[in-house]
């Protein structure tokens, strides 16, 4: 599991670096502007997600194997944009479909998101994000010798998510989103970590 995290770090760290570098480059101006318009906006949207839960219940007392099945689910998100660089995203996701041994995950996350303005093209704005929050998980069944299958119950875990994606502006108010996210449960059962990851697509509506 640690190896897993180390591998994704190679991607996440450069991603965050690009975001920060792009931000600092864009912020520099020879002369400051004479006026500024507020960019405050609130966008709400719905997501459809496919995630690899990175968990296959416990087998013979051993926890964690990659699940043979991907979990599918739906979610909702809220983007609050204070300025070009100060934005907050909150998302809730319920991965309930295509369950294996009744394993499913719910995420409730919030955190900053940074659009990479320098990399905008056409109507698309790439972004990066780091969210933290809570993950609720049904752990499914484990096979216990001489006992048979035992339901392991459910648990709540701290969830850190890093990812990015692209927002496509379809109209003045409607946008589409493609999003990829690595999640990290630093304290999963039996002192292990869990690294679910997955992708989502969604549609958002800018309320104001």
Cβ nearer to other proteins, comparing 143 with 180: 180
Least Cβ distance, residue 57 to other proteins (angstroms) = 19
Q: Is 17 exposed, middle or buried (0-12, 13-18, 19+ CB in 10 A)?
A: exposed
Least Cβ distance, residue 118 to other proteins (angstroms) = 5
Least Cβ distance, residue 65 to other proteins (angstroms) = 13
Cβ nearer to other proteins, comparing 33 with 148: 33
The span from the CA of 186 to the CA of 97, in Å, is 25
For tokens 């690899």, name the residue: 52
Cβ nearer to other proteins, comparing 75 with 126: 126
Q: Where on the chain is the footprint of other proteins (CB under 8 A)?
A: 11, 15, 18, 26, 28-40, 50, 52, 66, 70, 82-84, 86, 116-122, 124-126, 164-166, 169, 178, 180, 197-199
Cβ nearer to other proteins, comparing 13 with 150: 13
- Residues 53, 181 contacting (CB under 8 angstroms): no
The helix/strand/coil state of 84 is coil
The span from the CA of 158 to the CA of 187, in Å, is 7
Least Cβ distance, residue 156 to other proteins (angstroms) = 26
Question: In residues, how long is the chain?
Answer: 208
Cβ nearer to other proteins, comparing 82 with 149: 82
Closest by CA to 43, choosing from 94, 82, 74, 95, is: 82
Least Cβ distance, residue 148 to other proteins (angstroms) = 31
């Amino acid at each position: 599991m640690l190896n897993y995290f180390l591998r994704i770090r190679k991607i996440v760290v450069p991603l965050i670096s690009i975001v920060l570098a792009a931000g600092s480059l864009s912020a520099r101006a020879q002369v400051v502007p004479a006026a500024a318009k507020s960019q405050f906006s609130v966008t709400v949207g719905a997501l459809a997600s496919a995630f690899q839960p990175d968990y296959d219940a416990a087998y013979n007392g051993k926890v964690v194997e990659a699940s043979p099945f991907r979990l599918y689910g739906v979610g909702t998100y809220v983007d609050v944009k204070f300025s070009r660089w100060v934005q907050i995203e909150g998302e809730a996701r319920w991965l309930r479909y295509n369950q294996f041994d009744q394993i499913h995950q719910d995420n409730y996350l919030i955190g900053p998101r940074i659009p990479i303005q320098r990399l905008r093209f056409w109507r698309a704005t790439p972004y990066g994000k780091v969210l933290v929050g809570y993950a609720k998980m049904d752990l499914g069944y484990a096979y216990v010798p001489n006992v048979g299958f035992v339901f392991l119950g459910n648990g709540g875990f701290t969830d850190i998510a890093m990812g990015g994606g692209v927002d496509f502006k379809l109209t003045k108010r409607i946008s589409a989103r493609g999003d990829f996210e690595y999640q990290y449960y630093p304290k999963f059962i039996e002192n292990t970590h869990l690294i679910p990851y997955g992708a989502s697509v969604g549609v958002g509506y800018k309320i104001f």
